[in-house]
Structure formats: structure tokens, C-alpha cells
Amino acid sequence: MNGTDAGGQGGTVDQPTKRGLRRDFLAVRRGLTEDDARKAAAVLAGHALELPELATAGTVAAYVSVGREPGTRVLLDALHARGTRVLLPVLLPDNDLDWAVYDGEDSLVGVAHQGKMPLLEPAGRRLGPDAVLEADAVLLPGLAVDHDGTRLGRGGGSYDRVLARLERAATDPALVVLLYDSEVVAHIPGETHDRPVHAAVTPSGVRRFR
Ligand SMILES: Nc1nc2c(c(=O)[nH]1)N(C=O)[C@@H](CNc1ccc(C(=O)N[C@@H](CCC(=O)O)C(=O)O)cc1)CN2
Ligand SMILES: Nc1ncnc2c1ncn2[C@@H]1O[C@H](COP(=O)(O)OP(=O)(O)OP(=O)(O)O)[C@@H](O)[C@H]1O
């Protein structure tokens, strides 16, 4: 733990801040072609669907990938088709997350939150922020993870809140981040509020951290 950042300056060589790291990882994603992204999403979904934690889960909290995020659409549809209850996040004004059930592609709406990339969110009944406590597995977005499971998110703190809520409730769902291979790195500067994830699924397979 080194206590750096949360909104610090761009990276330096020996102690890159989270903001600098985010910028660098996002730049690499922007360089991916549509074809790269489509192939990666298909392979990634295959690995994720083989995870025992997902196979046995009654409820999975996930998210709808946008842009060049590692694709989750194939995975969401496969989970939905096999009868898993899939919860999707709705971003609240304070960056906390509400949740609603995924009921197929037609149940998604495009939403433009100020200053953020356009998202796809579920149109169904909102279940409240505590609905995530019903999840047996949580699929988290991120930009990178290190070998301890420390995750670099987009900086909104939404999933930090989700992880804090899960910890307070003493539920212990599988925590799985979906990434590209180059985003599993040796070290991410952690802060005291960061909670480690248990595994990363990338196009080359599953990496476990606990
Ligand atoms: N597909 C997807 N859905 C998601 C997330 C996500 O990361 N990906 N979230 C994850 O929490 C939540 C929404 N939170 C978000 C937080 C930031 C940005 C965003 O566009 N950030 C800009 C930088 C903004 C800034 O610097 O202030 C960016 O990353 O380019 C998007 C969503 C819930 N839904
Ligand atoms: N439990 C929490 N409740 C409220 N705010 C929090 C909580 N945990 C972290 N935050 C705040 O969220 C902001 C972003 O934190 P951080 O840079 O770690 O985001 P991140 O992990 O990259 O993003 P995300 O969690 O959305 O993926 C920080 O200002 C932090 O203080």
C-alpha cells in the first residue's frame, strides 16, 4: 500500500499514478481494431463460461461492455440463455450503482451520463444498490489488475463501493475482472479502500489470485 494518487498527476517512471496508468491502458484499447475486439470477446466468453463459479451461480452481477472494453455481450446472452439470473448496473448520480435484471438485448437502453462514455443500461425495474448482495459471482470492469488482484478501475469508485458493500454484508461472491492479456501486470498502486478481486479472465485464460 503506498497511498498515492486518486486524482494525482500523470505517471512518472518509478511511481506511476492511477491516472497516468488509466490513460496508458485506455490508449492501448483505442488501438484495437473491431476485429481484434470481436475475436477477443468470443474467446473470453468461452473461458468465463467454463468458470465453475459462474456455472454454479444462480445470480451473476455483470455489466454491458461498450467501445473497446473486453466484450461481455456474448457472455451475457449465454448466461441468460442457460437460466442464470443476470443483474446489470445502473449508474446513479453519486457514482453508486443500482441494479436491474438482464432480459435480453431488447431490455437495454443507451444512456449518456455527463462526462462519461455512453453506456448501455437495463431498462427493467430497479432493485436498489443492495441487490448486488444477491450475486454469487460479480463480473467487474477494469483497466488492469496486478498479481495480488489489485484492480485499476475507471476512477468513479462505483465498484469500490460495491466491494465495500459486499464486505460489510459478509457475502463472499466470486470477484472476476474481465481484461485483455496485456492488462494483467506486475503492480498496480493500491489504496486502502481497494479490495482485491479473485480472478481475471482474459482471452488467454483464467488467472487466479486467491
Ligand atoms: N461498460 C461499463 N459499464 C459500467 C462501468 C464500466 O466501467 N463499463 N462502470 C464502472 O464503474 C459503471 C459506470 N461508471 C463509469 C465510470 C466512468 C466512466 C468513464 O467514461 N470514464 C472516463 C473518464 C472520465 C473522467 O476522467 O472523469 C473514461 O474512462 O474515459 C464510465 C462509466 C457501471 N457501468
Ligand atoms: N466505499 C466507498 N464509498 C465511497 N467512495 C469511495 C469508496 N471507495 C472508494 N471511493 C472513492 O472513489 C474514488 C475512485 O477510487 P479509485 O480511484 O480507486 O477508483 P477505481 O477503483 O479505479 O474505480 P471503480 O471502483 O469505479 O472501478 C475515490 O475518490 C475514492 O475515494
Q: Domain map of the chain by residue range?
A: 15-208
pTM: 0.93
State the Cα–Cα distance between residues 74 and 80, nearest whole angstrom: 10
**C-alpha angle with apex 79: 127 to 194, nearest 5 degrees?**
60
Q: What is the CATH number of domain 15-208?
A: 3.40.50.10420
Q: Which three cell numbers stand for residue 96?
A: 453508486
Q: Is the Cβ atom of 156 under 6 angstroms away from ligand 2? A: yes
What are the pLDDT digits (tens) for 4-39? 434 444 444 445 699 999 999 999 999 999 999 999
Residues touching ligand 1 (Cβ under 6 Å) are 26, 63-66, 69, 89, 91, 97, 115-117, 119, 141, 153-156, 158-159
Q: Is 189 in the pocket of ligand 2 (CB under 6 A)?
A: no
Query: Which helix (DSSP H) or strand (DSSP E) does residue 100 occupy?
Result: strand 97-101
What is the pLDDT averaged over residues 151-171?
A: 97
Known binding residues for substrate are 64, 69
Three-state DSSP class for residue 63: coil
Instruction: Dump pLDDT digits (tens) for 87-118.
Output: 999 999 999 999 999 999 999 999 999 999 99
- Give yes or no for a contact between 82 and 51, defined as CB atoms under 8 angstroms apart: no
Measured in residues, the chain has a length of 210
Average pLDDT over residues 147-165: 97
Ligand with smallest separation from the Cα of 73: 1
